[in-house]
Amino acid sequence: MARPRLAVLALEALPNARALRGFVADHAAEIALVGLSNAERPATGGFTGQIRRHLARSGPGFLPYLGVNFGLPDLMRPLAPVTRRLSGAGEAPEATPLAPLCRRLGIPTLTVDDVNGPEMAEALRRHGADLILTFHFDQILSAATLAAVPLGGLNVHPGLLPRHRGPVPTIHALGDGPDAFGVTVQHLAVAIDTGAILAQEAVRLPPDVTATRASVLLHARGRDLLEGVLDAASREGRLPPGRAVPSLPYCPFPDRAMLRDLRRRGLKLTDARDLREAASLNA
């Protein structure tokens, strides 16, 4: 079959930014639209409501992770033209935030407050999307949304599913040990991270890796696996059914006890190297 028209849905942040920007630039002709999740959408309580929930569950020790992965990249994004010029990055896609990159490439974009709302349904129809691709996206797609496109959806997950279902798989993998890291490309399903597996790879990471750096590295490797899945679908004329696996328990954001245990073992969610990468993400 011809390459499917992709609706790419993402929350742009440190873990996925460079890999996803490169993918969008290389596949611009195949991308029907890019939907950027509004991390501060009212349905989640906005910025203040989310911070309160994180503090109640995880405590203040979780805030540096949130700041490096999400807060600092958000703050630095408006400065991207300046930082690219100062660094000499110019128009390099990997150094260009998704919204201006898509404008440059002529790809329609929308801010997504509700992925299952009428605005998204209309955008999928209007732009002729065949397949939804989620790449570090923080909203759950309904059965109706998945059925709105002919081929359903694919998800890139920086974990070895069915282990570590949930929003922060590399934190749980960090706690489980060096053999627990990997990446999966799967069919999207209504239940979180339960779709059939299309491609998967265990990845050995450096012994000093942080949960943040692991997520960056695994999203980059996930892009490579995704390319293979899309190439195979084009050759075979269909998306393969994948390998169904039993569902394992959901792994939520860490609680205080988990963070204490990681600190006791000398394992880090983030460090100064991650901070520098977040600050230079648009350079």
Give me the residue spans of the domains in the chain.
6-279
pLDDT by residue (tens digit) across 196-206? 999 999 999 99
For residue 97, give the nearest of 5, 24, 28 by alpha carbon: 24
For the cut 80, the answer to whether the pLDDT of residue 216 exceeds it is yes
Q: Please, which pLDDT band fits residue 1 given cuts at 50, 70 and 90?
A: low
Fill in the amino acid letter for 274: D
Output the six-digit token pair for 32.
């029907």
Write out the CATH class of domain 6-279: alpha beta
Instruction: Let me know the angle formed at the C-alpha of 219 by 213 and 222, rounded to the nearest 5 degrees.
Output: 140
> 110, exposed or middle or buried, with CB in 10 Å at 0-12, 13-18, 19+?
middle
Output the six-digit token pair for 97.
């935030």
Sheet of 109-112: strand order equals 109-112, 31-37, 6-10, 131-135, 153-157, 182-187, 197-202
CA–CA dist 69, 73 (Å, integer): 7
Output the six-digit token pair for 214.
């692991």
Q: What is the pTM of this model?
A: 0.96
Q: Say what angle helices 17-26 and 98-105 make with each other, to 10 degrees.
A: 10
For the cut 70, the answer to whether the pLDDT of residue 237 exceeds it is yes
Residues in a beta bridge with 186: 155, 197
CA–CA dist 158, 197 (Å, integer): 13
Q: Please, which pLDDT band fits residue 211 given cuts at 50, 70 and 90?
A: very high
For the cut 90, the answer to whether the pLDDT of residue 12 exceeds it is yes
Q: Say what angle helices 211-236 and 169-176 make with each other, to 10 degrees.
A: 110
CA–CA dist 136, 155 (Å, integer): 8
Mean confidence (pLDDT) of the chain: 95
For the cut 80, the answer to whether the pLDDT of residue 181 exceeds it is yes
Contact in structure between 37 and 137 (CB atoms under 8 Å): yes
Averaged pLDDT, 184-192: 97
CA–CA dist 214, 97 (Å, integer): 21
Averaged pLDDT, 161-172: 98
Q: Other CB atoms closer than 10 Å to residue 282's CB: what's the count?
A: 25
Largest Cα–Cα distance in the chain? 53
Contact in structure between 18 and 281 (CB atoms under 8 Å): yes
For the cut 90, the answer to whether the pLDDT of residue 238 exceeds it is no
Q: Please, which pLDDT band fits residue 26 given cuts at 50, 70 and 90?
A: very high
Averaged pLDDT, 19-48: 94
CA–CA dist 183, 200 (Å, integer): 6
For the cut 90, the answer to whether the pLDDT of residue 25 exceeds it is yes
Output phi, psi for 137, to 5 deg: -115, 140
pLDDT at 3: 86
CA–CA dist 252, 105 (Å, integer): 36
Contact in structure between 119 and 107 (CB atoms under 8 Å): no
